[in-house]
Homo-oligomer: A and B are copies of this chain.
Amino acid sequence: MHAVEKIKICGEHCALDQPGMEEARNRLPGITKEILKTIGKEDSPDHVGFSKIPSQEALNEIVELVETLLYPGYYGEQEIDDSNLEFYIGNQVSKLFRVLSSQITKCLLHECSNPIEKCCDCEHGGKLKALEFMKKIPGLRLMLGEDVKAHYEGDPASTSPEEIIFCYPGLRAISIFRVAHELLLLGVPILPRMLTEFAHSATGVDIHPGATIGKSFFIDHATGVVIGETTVIGDRVKIYQGVTLGALSMPRDERGRLVRGTKRHPTIEDDVVIYANATILGGETVIGKGSVIGGNVWLTHSVPPGTKLIMDIPNQKFVQKSEKKK
């Protein structure tokens, strides 16, 4: 930085037209060469010579189009009524098919033994998987209808279903999760995780597409919620901001590598409520039906159905009581 200090402040009348441009012209080619030298080396990340996986732009487009079909009339610029409804839906279906099938093909090519070359199997697979997914949209709309209802009934601050759909990041995260989960079940690589990460960035809710989540799910305030890959959640469960359903420990094999694919995250049975910032960990941890887990609780063991576990401040400790349910 000494060079900077040697130049005096020269106001408006500097002789140099663009001070520093000469240095830039001299040094930029060398910088380019040094960066090029690091490409193709094992220790620095690059993806040169492989086909592209979905870009952020394609991802945005998929989310935008799928939301117009999951919630017709809510999203998108166009006014829809009986006169244009059929054309509108038909058009959105065809646009979603085009972008989704081409991006699924990219994801398949990425894992294909035949990468750079054009692979008809991946082309075909992309189209078929897109069609299979789109067939599920009516069923997804039913599921989301129940999620919307769970949000409306769960929050006394909500005033209308419109407000739920536009202003509840938890619902948006659940909607994108349900889409990603279907794509994962259809064997689409990479894209499902990119979709839930898109939702994570927009909403602060990190749901792995592999999680299994029942009907009428409600997430309030949303920020900081983490739901791990092998979590199983029943029906009518409510969770609040900052709740983690995570892994307790990371078993390693005899060579010290992480064991992948085991159940590492908890099971939450029907009708459970988990308040803000509670953390529940472990693949063998089961929260029994109808239990209420208080805010800030840290839990690594199972509790039977009907348990209330809250932090009792006046007595400075956690209190756990089991209640008979009628």
Contacts and interface: CB of A to CB of B under 8 A. Distances in A.
A123 B1 CA distance: 14
B11 A117 contact: yes
Nearest to A279: B295
Interface residues of A, number: 161
Given A28-B93, A121-B7, A39 B167 contact: no
Contacts of A28: 93-94, 97, 131, 134
Q: How many chain copies? A: 3
Contact of A46 (B39, B74, B200): B74
B228 A242 contact: no
Contacts of A125: 4, 20
Contacts of A200: 169, 222-223
Contacts of A167: 193-194, 196-197
A194 to B, nearest CB: 6
B82 A49 contact: yes
B276 A279 contact: yes
23 contacts: A14-B123, A18-B123, A31-B131, A34-B137, A36-B89, A38-B142, A43-B146, A45-B144, A45-B165, A47-B162, A52-B77, A53-B162, A55-B75, A57-B77, A156-B261, A159-B189, A167-B196, A201-B203, A221-B226, A223-B224, A226-B276, A277-B279, A316-B318
